Amino acid sequence: MTNLLMARTILAYGHPILRQAARAVGTLNGDLQQLIDDLIETMYAAPGVGLAANQVGSLQRVFVANPSEDHDPSKLLVMINPELVASDGEIVAEEGCLSIPDFREEVRRARRVLVRGLDRSGHPIEVEGEDLLARILQHELDHLNGVLFVDRLSPAKRDILLRKLKKAFPRR
């Protein structure tokens, strides 16, 4: 899934970094700001609605998201050291992943979530998400914890999908 316009290459299913938990960011420096810019550029070029740092090979606890179809800059979300602090309800909807291109499955998630972290300037922020935004927040938090959406499937669905993934990503 490489696009020449992308700032960074998105790691594909089977890469070991995708299964590692990201480390908390300690210092907001120029390298972190460059990573954030690269994540945004890569997410939009993919195109996707969210991207976690470990998907591009960085084990820093950072993700970007934008649930708007037109990449509305006012909807862009940058979260550093995000943590899920509350969730409510339940919804099942189709979900995909930039690291697992061309595969989508129904995934059960919380309908509403509250996530706390820092914005790109280091200011504390709280984001309340519902439906699509809640799904994106949970998906990206999972990435930062080394969890993929396939891990959220029922055992039977997961087994079927994993067999398909082994064929699609044979070197993994």
Q: Specify whether the CB–CB gap between 1 and 40 falls below 8 A.
A: no
SS3 of 164, please?
helix
What number of helices (H) and strands (E) belong to the chain?
3, 7
Determine the Cα angle at 100 with ends 89 and 157, to 5°. 55
Q: Sign of the CA dihedral 43, 46, 52, 55?
A: negative
CA–CA dist 51, 63 (Å, integer): 6
The DSSP annotation for 83-108 comes to EEEEEE--EEEEEEETTEEEEEEEEE
* Catalytic residue list: 140
